[in-house]
Amino acid sequence: MRTGDLGFWWRSVGGPPRPGAPLPGPIEADVAIVGAGYTGLWTAYYLARAMPSLRIVVLEREIAGFGASGRNGGWVSGFFSGPARVYERERGAGDAPYEALQRAMLDTVDEVAAVLSEHQIEADFVKGGHLGVAIGAAQAQHARDEIAAARGHGVGDADLSALSAEQLAPRLRVAGASGATFSPHVARVHPVKLLTGLAEVVRRLGVDIHEGTPVSEIRPHEAITPFGTVRARWIVRATEGYTAGLHGLKRALVPMNSSMIVTEPLPPSVWEEIGWAGNEVVSDSAHVYAYLQRTADGRIAIGGRGVPYRFASRTDGPGETATATIESLRAKLASMFPAAASAPIDHAWSGVLGVPRDWCMSVDADPRTGIAWAGGYVGEGVAAANLAGRTLRDLILGERTHLTALPWVGRAPSRWEPEPLRWPAIHGVYSLYRTADRIERRTGRPSRLGALVDALSGRA
């Protein structure tokens, strides 16, 4: 089994490339984007399409797709993170701000599909929907609560519905499943094929992506690199889980780890036992949940929270993963799918996602400083980065549109607590969630501890 090396997705396309040419020296541009993940690349894409005359450069410390965009679970999800009340209290966002953002996110899955199709990017994209499987009675209650909360925000039965155990079984056989939620608004993708396809289109549109180019500081209209300063009308920060490495931004977003393992391709006999012909993406409904996809070449990729966070927002390089994390993901796989319990694990890896203090994502662009940014998607940025890219386009071009009126625009999430408080607080939260899951497995009832931790952490 391999671990690290930026993960299986890169290996499956022949391994990560060497970094391309760095910034040749100080330059001037219209827009300089820091970070070549989905956020940076979608922003470059939509800006270059809208105004081909713009000089756009992307400055990337490693290679395009080094971060979470090359390592994620491949869910292109129309749902997003954070409690509705946070978005609802944003001023000037209209009568039903959360509903508007929800609709825009649901539409985003089809927007990603349309761009892939227009540019003939083959990224194993299948819009099979999402099955949120409830394992045991307590998780079944979580699923019912989720549906009830969604109904309060304009999500109807066609968008999110309940499946009984009998309705689930012909599609997917998960041991101990007592039912599931189903939404059609989620697609599976191969993260790196999406990333490299998008990067190629962006280059063809005339955008320069300078790899091996670290930015140490973002100032009004300037990005500082060891090769010289880039001066631009707009500097877009698209650094997500790595943001704390930039001067002055230590407490803006916490880099939360997520880890994955992938099996070898499973034989047809195992697939017959499991089902899963619809290629839905799958999760369970625990507090510390697992997320899964069936890959196009017949493997199961499963991810979840391992070591949640490293002291002082340290990030992890190429994604080496602790043995205990690999073992707990392997155990989860075996408990959900006993038929796959002995499947060899081919690769394990980890990555960092960006988490704001209020667990809600943001897009912002300040015309006075020329500094823009998007992120804080928690674990759901694959689709959200596309919506962010379109929104940043409108903000940067000075256009007021339905996208710029959405309630995630112009938010100012508060900063995280400084260390040494942050590390014990985050580790404490995840350890209490694990305890809540254990209690719920034992009692079959939602634990009050889970709800208490939700409230204390501000996550729900």
Ligand X SMILES: Cc1cc2nc3c(=O)[nH]c(=O)nc-3n(C[C@H](O)[C@H](O)[C@H](O)COP(=O)(O)OP(=O)(O)OC[C@H]3O[C@@H](n4cnc5c(N)ncnc54)[C@H](O)[C@@H]3O)c2cc1C
Q: Which residues bind ligand X (CB under 6 A)?
A: 34-40, 59-62, 66-69, 71-75, 77, 214-215, 238-242, 245-246, 258, 260, 291, 303, 351-353, 375, 377, 379-383, 385
Q: How far is the CB of 439 from ligand X (least distance, A)?
A: 27
Sort 324 into a burial class: Cβ within 10 Å, 0-12 / 13-18 / 19+: exposed
Closer residue to ligand X in complex, CB, 25/94: 25
Q: How far is the CB of 105 from ligand X (least distance, A)?
A: 10
Closer residue to ligand X in complex, CB, 62/440: 62
CA distance 159 to 339: 31
Closer residue to ligand X in complex, CB, 131/382: 382
Sort 457 into a burial class: Cβ within 10 Å, 0-12 / 13-18 / 19+: middle
CA distance 281 to 181: 12
Phi, psi angle pair for 237, to nearest 5°: -90, 115
Pair 23, 210: CB distance under 8 Å: yes
* Paired sense of beta strands 228-237 and 371-375, if any: parallel
Which residues are CB-contacts of 238 (< 8 A; sequence separation ≥ 6)? Answer: 33, 34, 35, 36, 37, 39, 40, 43, 373, 374, 375
Closer residue to ligand X in complex, CB, 383/453: 383
The two tokens of residue 270 are 């195992």
Closer residue to ligand X in complex, CB, 87/377: 377
The two tokens of residue 381 are 């940025």
459 to each of 85, 173, 287, 359, how far by Cα in Å? 11, 30, 11, 6
Closer residue to ligand X in complex, CB, 23/140: 23
Closest CA to 396 of 237, 258, 270: 237
Closer residue to ligand X in complex, CB, 378/453: 378
Residues in a beta bridge with 182: 131, 161
Please tell me whether the peptide bond between 420 and the residue prior to it is cis, using omega within 30 degrees of 0.
Answer: yes
Sort 148 into a burial class: Cβ within 10 Å, 0-12 / 13-18 / 19+: exposed
Closer residue to ligand X in complex, CB, 99/380: 380
Closer residue to ligand X in complex, CB, 138/292: 292
Provide the Cα torsion 233, 237, 238, 239; round to 10°.
150
Rg for the chain, CA atoms, rounded? 21
Closer residue to ligand X in complex, CB, 66/98: 66
Pair 171, 276: CB distance under 8 Å: yes
Sort 220 into a burial class: Cβ within 10 Å, 0-12 / 13-18 / 19+: exposed
CA distance 243 to 35: 10
